[in-house]
């Protein structure tokens, strides 16, 4: 990663933190739901880390970088993690947002 790009990402992360801190009371009040948390913070966080969360590249489902609510089987049980991350169509990790 080039220094300029790294600096830009640090600025973007700091802006995201500042946005949260400025409105923290509202976000923790119970009126702010998971869907808005994803849009306002989680998606932006992963985009800053160069994950194509919104599928800007236009890949088919099988080759997207990030699949929301992916259908997977864990220990014989169906699961749908909030985010499934892939490289070249191969799932590498699942993250649940809370």
In this structure, what is the dihedral angle of CA atoms 30, 71, 68, 82, given to the nearest 10 degrees? 30
Place of tokens 């600096």: 7
- The answer to whether residue 80 scores a pLDDT higher than 60 is yes
What does the pLDDT look like over 11-55, one tens digit per residue? 999 999 999 999 999 999 989 999 999 999 999 999 999 999 999
Q: What's the pLDDT score for residue 25?
A: 94
The β-bridge partners of 85 are: 66, 93
Section 83-96 average pLDDT: 77
What would the two tokens of residue 69 be? 């609510």
Instruction: Enumerate the domain spans of the chain.
Output: 3-95
% of the chain beyond a pLDDT of 70: 93
Per DSSP, 40 falls in state I
Entry pTM: 0.80
- The answer to whether residue 95 scores a pLDDT higher than 70 is no
């Amino acid at each position: 990663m080039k220094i300029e790009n790294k600096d830009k990402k640090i600025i973007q992360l700091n802006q995201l933190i500042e946005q949260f801190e400025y409105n923290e009371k509202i976000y923790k009040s119970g009126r702010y739901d998971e869907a808005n948390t994803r849009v306002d913070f989680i998606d932006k966080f992963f985009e800053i880390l160069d994950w194509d969360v919104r599928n800007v590249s236009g890949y088919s489902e099988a080759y997207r970088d990030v699949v929301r609510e992916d259908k997977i089987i864990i220990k014989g049980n169906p699961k749908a993690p909030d985010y499934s991350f892939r490289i070249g169509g191969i799932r590498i990790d699942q993250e649940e947002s809370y």
